[in-house]
């Protein structure tokens, strides 16, 4: 077997992308647009923190892709930690019930915190998280979110930097899931409603 045909079988981008994307209605934000926005954010954060060694707090599991790319794009010294908070389960609507599933390993008193969040929808998760972190007396907290849904009834919550404002639709990909799936898509996509209508 030639090298060429082996490579073709293993990494055919067309077919592997189609497999990962099954159930996707349309691509909302292509991978290149995400990466270029993250570059811009990283430059801003580099300039803002300089010598201060910020602690990036990623909100599991949705923020993994964003966190990985943002921290790699930043060039200043930084520390990374993660927190897990209960989310929607297998539904597409926020329950408003939030609890900590995994807490930070790091102490945050007196430190500069950057919360790295995938998406702000109702804002309830972030509101709760900021409240929990504030009680631990950090020096300051900045919130960066890759996505924010345009939603009239969203909670008033601190978000300092938003990558993309998106319509109030259920999206998947780039860390975001539906029932645990689609996180591995390199882009943000609108889920075909038949995927979750079938489950409701």
Residues forming contacts to ligand IMP in the complex (CB under 6 A) are 59, 62, 87-88, 94, 117-126, 170-172, 176
Residues near Mg ion, by CB under 5 A: 59, 62, 118
Taking Cα atoms as reference points, which of 132, 127, 130, 124 lies closest to residue 87?
124
Comparing CB distances to ligand IMP, the nearer of 31 and 190 is 190
The percent helix, strand, coil of the chain (3-state, each to 5) is 30, 30, 40
The torsion angles phi and psi of 54, rounded to 5 degrees, stand at -70, 155
Distances (CA, A) of 165 to 61, 76, 134: 21, 27, 26
Question: Taking CB within 5 to 8 Å according to partner kind, which of ligand IMP, Mg ion, none is near residue 65?
Answer: none
The distance of closest approach from Cβ of residue 82 to Mg ion in the complex, given in angstroms and rounded to an integer, is: 11
Question: Taking CB within 5 to 8 Å according to partner kind, which of ligand IMP, Mg ion, none is near residue 91?
Answer: none
Residues constituting the chain: 200
The distance of closest approach from Cβ of residue 8 to ligand IMP in the complex, given in angstroms and rounded to an integer, is: 34
**Alpha carbons 140 and 167: distance in angstroms, whole number:** 30
**Active-site residue, 121 included:** yes
Question: Taking CB within 5 to 8 Å according to partner kind, which of ligand IMP, Mg ion, none is near residue 176?
Answer: ligand IMP
Comparing CB distances to ligand IMP, the nearer of 49 and 88 is 88
Positions marked active-site: 121
């Amino acid at each position: 077997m030639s090298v060429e045909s082996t490579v073709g079988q293993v990494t055919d981008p067309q077919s592997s992308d189609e497999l990962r994307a099954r159930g996707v209605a349309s691509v909302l934000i292509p991978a290149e647009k995400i990466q270029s926005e993250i570059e811009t954010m990283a430059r801003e954060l580099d300039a803002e923190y300089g010598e201060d060694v910020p602690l990036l707090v990623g909100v599991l599991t949705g923020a993994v892709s964003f966190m990985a790319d943002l921290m790699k794009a930043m060039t200043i010294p930084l520390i990374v930690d993660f927190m897990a908070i209960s989310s929607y389960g297998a539904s597409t609507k926020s329950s408003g019930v939030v609890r900590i599933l995994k807490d930070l390993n790091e102490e945050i008193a007196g430190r500069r915190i950057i919360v790295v969040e995938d998406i702000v929808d109702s804002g309830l998760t972030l509101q709760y998280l900021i409240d929990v972190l504030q009680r631990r007396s950090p020096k300051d907290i900045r919130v960066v979110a890759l996505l924010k849904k345009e939603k009239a009834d969203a909670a008033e919550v601190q978000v300092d930097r938003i990558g993309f404002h998106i319509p109030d639709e259920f999206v998947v990909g780039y860390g975001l899931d539906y029932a645990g799936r689609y996180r591995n898509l390199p882009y943000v996509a609108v889920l075909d409603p038949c995927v979750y209508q079938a489950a409701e």
